[in-house]
Amino acid sequence: MPTTLFILNGPNLNLLGTREPEIYGTTTLAEIEAACIAKAREHGLRVDFRQTNHEGTLVDWLHEAHAGGAKAVIINAAAYTHTSIALLDAAKAITPPVIEVHLSDPQTRADFRHRSFIGQAADQCFKGKGLASYLEAIDAAAAL
């Protein structure tokens, strides 16, 4: 049985902690990674945690999760959530379940953020709870 969770993070999330803290909080991406690793360990799972500002890299990583037999992919596609058909197609093409996460709740923000392309391929979505969105996604992935 697969034991690796791919946790993929999109553009500008490398700036967490200082980027719009009134929306995203003050938790850094490194702190999110550490918490995700600890939570996954509770379930006997391993985490492959990554961040990129490049759409094609996220597509490649989705393919890698598929080829590598990941248990699930947890993805915060950030702004690409609302723009990327390429990520939608990649998420639909892979066999590991895809779980969408967001620190904030896009439905309470600007209208253009209400549409999620990645969400059209995701099995579940956790949003609006900051770090807890990631941790709940890990619990859900572990239960698969």
Q: What is the CATH number of the domain that holds 96?
A: 3.40.50.9100
102 among known catalytic residues:
yes
Q: What is the structure's pLDDT at 19? A: 85
| 43, 54, 102, 134: the active-site residue | 102
Q: How far apart are alpha carbons 134 and 89 in whole angstroms?
A: 23
- How does DSSP assign 67-130, residue by residue? HTT-SEEEEE-GGGGGT-HHHHHHHHH-SS-EEEEESS-GGGS-GGGS--TGGGT-SEEEESST
Q: What is the structure's pLDDT at 112? A: 59
Low-confidence stretches of the chain (pLDDT < 70) are: 106, 108-110, 112-114
pTM comes to: 0.93
Total tally of structural domains belonging to the chain: 1
Which domain does 16 fall in, by range?
A: 4-142
pLDDT in tens, 33-75: 999 999 999 999 999 999 999 999 999 999 999 999 999 999 9
| C-alpha 33, offset from chain centre | 11
